[in-house]
Amino acid sequence: MSDVENKVKEIVVEQLDLDIEVSDLNNSSSFVDDLGADSLDTVELVMALEEEFECEIPEEDAEKITTVQQAIDYVTENA
Amino acid sequence: MNLSGQIALVTGASRGIGKAIAEKLAQAGATVVGTATSQAGAEGISAYLSEYNGQGQVLDVADQDSIDTLLKSMKDTVGLPTVLINNAGITNDKLLMRMNADDWDQVINTNLSSIYKMSKACIRGMMKAKNGRIINIGSVIGNLGNPGQSNYAAAKAGMLGFSKSLAREIGSRGITVNVVAPGYIQTDMTDELDEVQRNNLMEQVPLKRLGSTADIANAVLFLASDAAAYITGETLHVNGGMYMS
């Protein structure tokens, strides 16, 4: 697992208060459908990613980040 | 009621209701940052808060850069606010037919758009803390209307809808959003009324007196405290009975 991938997963587990190990988090998991996030959770998740990776994620991009893998890809390309 | 450990940001704290609120929250043990639009105003706040844990800062609530600068400075010093009191406001009274677009925009920007900006800036820290209080200072005029105050009444009524919506959005994070709506309060403004105007006013108020700034500060203290933890999206009217919702 790359550093970015690991960090993103740590943030997801922490923000969504998931009761699993970081290594058990599937990349294909959808925040809302699989991990039980509500709309405010996803906003907080994006805020946490912005803070960790010191970037600003515009609203139109934030809307497209719905899975763990999409978050990893976004951060890899933009941060 | 004890607010120790809380960090309160009170806008428009140089005089009147804002000053009473800042003092009251500081007395209850909160760390208080009170804001004013001028350096002299900020120094005055630092002076009256000097015996407590508090200070004055310069802030223009209508200016996003000014808000960002203040929050950054708070983050680096006292910490991000856990209690936000949106009190700063202005009037620019005119009958609608004489009210130009600037008169309208100025009051809407300072009294309504400011609470959007301030709340947004402060919520991030509150969400992280999973705890927060936002208390907006409204006005009975937002419910009753008043000739010559269509801009002010629109801003204050808008504040109610804003507060209810935000209360629904962030309730799950332990953040409450409420409004305290003062009636006629003894301030520099009401001191200028003559006997006839004052008597006319009193006819509308069952409790037969003007409110004091302390009456408002007490209501704010309550809503900021743990005692009000289960109250959100609510408007607390403090008006001597002149308007009962």
Q: Which of B80, B126, B128 to mutate to test the interface with A (most CBs of A within 10 A)?
A: B128
pLDDT digits 0-9 by tens, A40-75 = 999 999 999 999 999 999 999 999 999 999 999 999
Residue whose pair of structure tokens reads 């959005």 in the numeric block: B169
Give the pLDDT band of residue B168 (cuts 50, 70, 90).
very high
**Residue B147 to residue B133: CA distance in whole angstroms:** 33
- CA pair distance B9, B220, nearest whole angstrom: 12
Residue B56 to residue A23: CA distance in whole angstroms: 48
Residues 6+ apart with CB under 8 A from B129: B80, B82
Interface of A to B at Cβ within 8 Å reads: 38, 40, 44, 47
pLDDT category of residue B3 using cuts at 50, 70 and 90: very high
Model pLDDT, residue B71 = 97
ipTM reported for the complex, 2 dp? 0.80
Q: What is the pLDDT of residues B190-244, one digit of tens each?
A: 787 788 888 888 899 999 999 999 999 999 999 999 999 999 999 999 999 999 9
Compute the nearest-CA separation of A5 from chain B (Å). 23
- Residue type, position B32, single letter: V
Q: Residue B193 has what pLDDT?
A: 79
Mean pLDDT, chain B, whole residue set: 96
Please write the tens of the pLDDT for every residue from A4-35. 999 999 999 999 999 999 999 999 999 999 99
Mean pLDDT of B151-180: 97
Nearest 10 degrees: Cα torsion A64, A69, A74, A76: 180
β strands within chain B, DSSP E: 7-10, 31-36, 54-58, 83-86, 132-137, 175-182, 235-238
Query: What mean pLDDT comes out for the span B151-163?
Result: 98
Q: What does the radius of gyration of chain B's CA atoms come to, in whole angstroms?
A: 17
